[in-house]
Structure 1
């Protein structure tokens, strides 16, 4: 996964577990796309200080993901939902008995609910 994308995803999942300062710096860099110099100026700290904060925060986020695996689990869940949706589309194109078609419609509705969770 690209570092920028990975960091943004991990920040969404575990950002609340960072310090306020780490969260500010991560958000400014990865979400607001500010440079290290801009962040340093905004926060009144040095550019190397911003770099160090980013590095430590990203390391902490990666450790949390390694231990908890929430982002990976959610990604796998979405992949399964996508595969099931594709199968329901294929089944809908076949000649199914009325009862089976009814079950297929229920399954499709439940998958749609899962996507919104």
Structure 2
């Protein structure tokens, strides 16, 4: 992912945060939640914390880099997406396609374990 997109890909950031939150510091979790869940602006966060806007921006970028680093190594979100796709394919298939979709789903589940 391009560095300039780190703060803009909200959906993926939140999905990664939900998975890797236990690996982050208390401060990183608090700032992430304020920005992404409470929808506070960088200016509002820096006002509460009495630090510069760039300090908050840099801290959020650092947190996102950590989240993407963890995902790069562990691939938990990637595996969940593959399983969800295989499950969806299975639900939407019929006949022989359903059997093939079930095989793919089982393979994805085995690979995820």
TM-score range, shorter chain: 0.7 to 0.9
Please say if 1:25 is aligned against 2:16.
no
Give the length in aligned residue pairs. Answer: 92
5+ long unaligned stretches in structure 2: 2-7, 103-113
Cα offset, 1:42, TM superposition: 2.0
CA positional deviation for 1:53:
0.5
Structure 1 residue 15 displacement after superposition: 1.2
Q: How much does 1:43 deviate?
A: 2.4
Among 41, 62, 68, the alignment partner of 2:68 is 62
**Post-superposition, which runs of at least 4 consecutive aligned residues in structure 1 deviate over 4 A?**
none
User: Within the alignment, does 1:15 sit opposite 2:38 as a pair?
Assistant: no
Residues 1-117 of structure 1 aligned to structure 2 (within 5 Å): 3-87=9-93, 90-91=94-95
TM-score, length of structure 1 as denominator length: 0.71
Q: Distance in 1 between matches of 2:31 and 2:63?
A: 9
Q: Deviations over 1:61-84 (max 9, x none)?
A: 000000000011001101100111
Gaps of 5+ in 1: 92-103, 108-117
Q: State the structure with more CA Rg.
A: 1
Provide the TM-score with structure 2 as the length reference: 0.73
* CA–CA separation in structure 2 for the residues paired with 1:81 and 1:3: 25
